[in-house]
Amino acid sequence: MPQIEFKQGSMLCSTDEPIENLLIITKGSAEVSFCGRPFRLEQGDTIGLCDLDSGIHGRSYNALTDITAFSYPYEDLSSLEKLLRNNSEVANLLVASMCRQTTELMQHWVALKELSETAYDLIDETYNEYERLCKLYAVTPKKLSGLDEVEPASTGASLDFWTYNYYMGIKDLDPNVLKIFFRNPAISFGFLRRCAEDITQVWSAYDVYQEYLKALAPHFLNESGHDLFSLVAELHFDSINVKGADAAVEALMAPILGILGKMTAVDRSVVQERLRSYKSTLDSKRASRVMVSSTAASGPKQNLSDSLAVILTYSEIPEEDRNKFARHVNDYRALSDRTGSDDVAYKLRRELSKSFYDVYNAVFLKSLKDPAIPTIIKMFLNFGYVDAALAGHDNADFLYSIADSLKGDPANGVYTVCEWLHAIYKGEKEPSRNDFDEDFDAYVRDLKVQRKIDDKEEARLLADLDAKVRFELESVFPITNKITFGRMSTYCPLFGDHNVQRGLEASMVTPAAIKETFDEIREIDYSAFYRESMFSRPEIGIPKEYINNEVLPDVILMPNMGTRGAMWQEMEGRKRNTPARMFLPMFLLDDMKALLIRLTAEFRWEMCKRIHGVRWSDLSDPSLTSEFFNYLQFYKSNRELSQEVKTAIKTELVRAKNVFKAVFVSNYYEWMQYEANGSPRLNKFVRKIMLNYCPFKFQVRQKLSSNPQFAEIVKRFDVKQAQRLHHLERVFQKIKQTTGGGEIPPELLAEMEYANN
| DSSP of 385-440 | ---HHHH-HHHHHHHHHHHTT---BGGGTEEEHHHHHHHHHTTSSPPPP-TTS--H
Q: Higher model confidence: residue 205 or residue 346? A: 346
Beta bridge partners of residue 30, listed in sequence order: 41, 63
Query: Is 80 exceeded by the pLDDT of residue 149?
Result: yes
213-216 long-range contacts (CB < 8 A, ≥24 apart) are 213/112, 213/115, 213/116, 213/119, 213/263, 213/264, 213/265, 214/265, 216/116, 216/119, 216/120, 216/123, 216/150, 216/263, 216/265
CB 256 within 8 A of CB 220: yes
- The pLDDT of residue 689 is 96
* Whether residue 155 has pLDDT greater than 80: no
Rounded average pLDDT over 71-94: 81
219-269 pLDDT tens trace: 999 988 889 999 999 999 988 888 889 999 999 999 999 999 988 888 888
Cβ pair 166, 292 in contact under 8 A: no
**Res 296: pLDDT:** 47
Which of these, 106, 28, 99, lies nearest to 61 by C-alpha position? 28
Helix (H) or strand (E) holding 654: helix 643-655
The mean-pLDDT minimum among 61-70, 187-196, 667-676 falls in: 187-196
Residue 691 is predicted with a pLDDT of 95
The b/e string for 10-29 (b: 16+ C-beta within 10 A; e otherwise) is: eebbeeebebebbbbbeebb
Among 200-204, 345-349, 683-687, the least confident range: 200-204
| pLDDT at residue 88, rounded to an integer | 79
Is residue 712 over pLDDT 50?
Answer: yes
Whether 157 has a pLDDT exceeding 90, the answer reads: no
pLDDT of residue 170: 83
pLDDT score for 158? 58
For the segment 664-671, the average pLDDT, to the nearest whole number, is 97
The pLDDT of residue 1? 60
**Residue 370, Cβ neighbours under 10 Å: how many?**
11
- Whole-angstrom CA distances from 616 to 529, 547, 613 are 18, 21, 6
- Of 189-203, 525-539, 572-586, 658-672, the range with the lowest mean pLDDT is 189-203
User: Which residue from 314, 322, 289 is spatially nearest to 376, judged by alpha carbons?
Assistant: 314
Handedness of CA 198, 204, 210, 215 (dihedral sign): negative
Mean pLDDT of 314-334: 94
61 DSSP β-pair partners: 13, 32
pLDDT of residue 464: 93
pLDDT digits (tens, 9 = 90+) for 509-562: 999 999 999 999 999 999 999 999 999 999 888 999 999 999 999 999 999 999
Q: Which of 680, 594, 664 is nearest to 628 (CA)?
A: 664
Residues in the chain: 757
Q: What are the CA-CA distances from residue 193 to residues 90, 164, 236, 682, 720 (Å)? A: 16, 16, 55, 77, 68
| Rounded Cα–Cα distance for residues 261 and 297 (Å) | 38
- Helices 592-612, 511-524: crossing angle, 10 deg rounding: 60
- pLDDT over 70 (residue 334): yes
Average pLDDT for the chain: 90
**Amino acid 246: pLDDT:** 92
Which amino acid makes up residue 714? V
Q: Write 694-698 long-range contacts (CB < 8 A, 24+).
A: 694/525, 694/527, 694/528, 694/604, 694/624, 694/668, 695/525, 695/526, 695/527, 695/757, 696/524, 696/525, 696/526, 697/523, 697/524, 697/525, 697/526, 697/757, 698/756, 698/757
583 CB-near residues (< 8 Å, 6+ apart): 480, 483, 484, 555, 556, 557, 558, 565, 566, 568
Q: Indicate the pLDDT class of residue 160, thresholds 50, 70 and 90.
A: confident
Give me the residue spans of the domains in the chain: 3-111+156-208, 298-406
In this prediction, residue 159 carries a pLDDT of: 66
The model's pLDDT over 167-198, given as tens digits with 9 standing for 90+, comes to 888 878 877 777 777 778 888 888 888 888 88
- Yes or no: say if 79 and 22 are a contact pair by the CB < 8 Å rule: no
| Second CATH level (architecture) for the domain 3-111+156-208 | Sandwich (2.60)
- Mean pLDDT confidence for 291-302: 55
pLDDT of 728 reads 94
pLDDT at 565 over 80: yes
Q: Are 537 and 731 in contact, with CB atoms under 8 Å apart?
A: no
CB within 8 Å of 482: residues ≥ 6 apart = 488, 491, 493
Q: What percent of the chain has pLDDT above 90?
A: 64
What pLDDT score was predicted for residue 84? 81
Which residue would you say has higher pLDDT here, 534 or 33? 534
pLDDT digits (tens, 9 = 90+) for 392-420: 999 999 999 999 999 999 999 999 999 99
Q: Give yes or no for a contact between 723 and 755, defined as CB atoms under 8 angstroms apart.
A: no
CA pair distance 33, 61, nearest whole angstrom: 8
Return the bridge partners of 508, or none: 587
Q: Is the pLDDT of residue 14 over 90?
A: no
Closest CA to 748 of 713, 724, 716: 724
Residue 147, C-beta contacts closer than 8 angstroms, at least 6 positions apart: 123, 124, 127, 219
pLDDT of the residue at 631? 95
